[in-house]
């Protein structure tokens, strides 16, 4: 036996099921975007820092400029530079030896707070390796 007043129930059920699925999917998309944009930021900072480093004449000056550039780049993306660490590694000593390689690695944690859930922390690392140009 069919009920006469069941007309429109399917559309209401669809709306409620869609809303129940759409809300968590929206939060998940926001969190993934947040983590992806952080990775893009540290990747760009590593690339810029490596370029700055290999173009300098002095290792001391290069390290200072790299720290300032990374800090500025992260701030441009709305990130706190104290949450990230830049590390320089070289294929030879001294670092700025012509034909050798310099790698800048940036590592840090991105904290994401979900409503009705615990805060999660994701560790991200990006690096860039460039050859020191011979002058």
At 4 the pLDDT is: 61
Q: Tokens 């429109």 map to which residue?
A: 8
Domain coordinates of the chain in residue numbers?
Answer: 9-131
At 135 the pLDDT is: 58
Instruction: Record the pTM.
Output: 0.80
22-55 pLDDT, tens digit each: 988 888 888 889 899 999 999 999 999 999 999 9
Helices (H), the chain: 9-55, 59-76
Tell the burial category of 51 from Cβ atoms under 10 Å away from its Cβ (0-12, 13-18, 19+).
Answer: middle
67-100 pLDDT, tens digit each: 999 999 999 999 998 999 999 999 988 888 899 9
Lookup: tokens for 9: 């129930």
| CA atoms within 13 A of residue 51's CA, in its CB half-sphere | 8
Rounded average pLDDT over 56-61? 91
């Amino acid at each position: 036996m069919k009920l006469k007043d069941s007309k429109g129930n399917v559309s209401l059920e669809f709306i409620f099921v869609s809303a129940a699925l759409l809300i968590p999917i929206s939060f998940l998309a926001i969190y993934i975007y947040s983590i992806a944009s952080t990775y893009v930021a540290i990747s760009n900072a590593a690339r810029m820092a490596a370029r700055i480093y290999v173009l300098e004449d002095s290792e001391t000056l290069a390290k200072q400029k790299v720290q300032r550039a990374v800090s500025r780049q992260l701030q441009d993306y709305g990130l706190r530079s104290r949450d990230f660490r830049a590390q320089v590694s070289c294929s030879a000593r001294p670092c700025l030896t012509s034909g050798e390689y310099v790698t800048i690695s940036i590592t840090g944690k991105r904290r994401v707070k979900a409503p009705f859930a615990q805060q999660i922390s994701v560790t991200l690392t990006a690096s860039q390796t460039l050859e020191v140009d011979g002058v």
